[in-house]
Structure 1
């Protein structure tokens, strides 16, 4: 019995050098979610506003007016990544590496969370257009964005 169990485990053995290499490549290409910078204190935007929404980065919170918007952490991370580069194409690979660092996930995971984000923002409804998909390449945040820093 022991040899058959060992044989079954052996079939799932991963080649560690391939996984380590993949993880190192991702790590080099990904910036941390709230990267520390050498800017003066308070110089990094802490609040981002677009349409009827406000993102409070330090609180990891999305508001519509003054009301918190229920949004999963993965979808919120996608939104933050897009808002850090408004008007720029953010590749699917960049988003996946950012939201799921050092973990392999199917591209469908990104699609599911992007769909939840767009549904929450009511993207494409009532004249709202926030996120555009560039088929096969990635996503772009296209709405006007206002950023500011709150001094303590």
Structure 2
């Protein structure tokens, strides 16, 4: 998940697990908008666009995407097109995006990704409240100026 930071309580009931959720600037990490504050949705009527795997908005894995007139979905436009350095998957698919990124940024032993994963007790993007107090994200939400 990119462009979002959130904290969650894995022991809370389904539908009540997200404590805070914010959209962040990809360059600076600064909060651009607050979506959930202390478990409450901020501006519940606000529309947000998302990019996701094609099977999710059409019912895959049971995610509750909108239906009817509220469902504004554009599927893959490049079916059967395979260009670029990685040509085993159609352009625009998650497999192609990952392969192209890895080839462009980590194709040699000098550029290979070799950093250890950030543990759940230090992750500042996805904050598991069973392992952290969430204070840093709380402060970012509290300091956000709503326009």
The TM-score with structure 2 as length reference comes to 0.27
Answer 1 or 2: higher relative contact order, Cα 8 Å, separation at least 6: 1
The TM-score with structure 1 as length reference comes to 0.27
Higher helix share: 1
